[in-house]
Amino acid sequence: MSTASLPRYLFTGRFLQVLRHLPSFARLYWRLFRDRRVSILPKAVLVLTLVYVMSPFDVIPDFIPVIGEMDDVAIVLFGLWLFIRLCPPQAVRETVRDIAARAENRG
């Protein structure tokens, strides 16, 4: 397989950095989901995004090469982005600081 067909960012430290931070992103979403300051709308967006991932329904069927999988990725990324955008900024900042401080203390 030629590397020319793969996205360039896969060979940079940025991709590995994102992978390394996935547990922190999961903690962020979970804590914000449980935060009382976050209204029901962002929580519903997050739940609907997760339901979409687990459901057999697809906007574009997966048997269509590349595009079938990419629509799933795009919808999940949009749902996660929208969840954070709809959360109160102060709650997001406090949660991010807390997760970062705990990560520093662990090593």
Provide the pLDDT for residue 77.
Answer: 92
**Three-state DSSP class for residue 34:** helix
The Cα–Cα gap between 103 and 86 comes to 25
Provide the pLDDT for residue 99.
Answer: 95
DSSP string, 39-101: -HHHHHHHHHHHHHHHSS--SS-TTSTTHHHHHHHHHHHHHHHHHHHHS-HHHHHHHHHHHHH
Low-confidence residues of the chain, pLDDT below 50?
Answer: 1-2
Task: Dig out the tokens for 44 from the structure.
Answer: 């519903």
